[in-house]
Amino acid sequence: MREPGSETPLFGMMAEFDRPERLIEAMRQVRDARYRAVDAYSPFPIEELTELLALRDSRVPILTAVGGILGAATGFGLQVYTNLAFPIDIGNRPLIAVPGFMLITFELGVLGAVLLTIFGMLVLNRLPRLHHPVFDIETFGLASMDKFFLIIFSTDRRFDPEATRDFLLGLKPRRVDPLSQPAAEQ
């Protein structure tokens, strides 16, 4: 989306608040107005805000489980393959000794879970991202100290630059800033 009279596409609109209560109230009004592509930044966790943002993404635990299962299957399968491809009869013991295979199976299960979790989180978070548009706002550094920010992304189906700006101004923030799309994403 482009802001009227601007050549740079918009990433979204950001509003700054001075108290957590104001941010929570603003977030309620944003939800009531049916904006869905939103995010909030706070210097400390706010349980009510987490509920309002509806953060219920379960892809990381699924990736962890899949990685664990694939790792364990790989560990067990490699041991079975090795013992069947190169049989060594030791004391007439079975070639496939499940209890003896559990240590490597467990270790590769943990390794698979950890690796798929890390790489999955990097992909899902679109990292590494060398620059994010929120860092163009002068006061955004205060999000880690005493300010609270709410952003409505331009990808929201209800996003209109002027209407969204007017809506955010109606929430009585300290300021509202447009965020420009990074040059690499234009």
pLDDT digits (tens, 9 = 90+) for 135-182: 889 899 889 899 999 999 999 999 999 999 999 999 999 999 999 987
Element (H, E) at 105: helix 98-124
Task: Identify the structural domains of the chain with CATH numbers, from first to last.
Answer: 10-56+133-185 (3.30.70), 59-124 (no CATH)
Q: pTM to 2 decimals?
A: 0.72
Note whether 72 and 105 are within 8 A (CB). Answer: yes
- Cα 122 off chain centre by: 9
Q: How far apart are CA 38 and CA 34, in angstroms?
A: 10
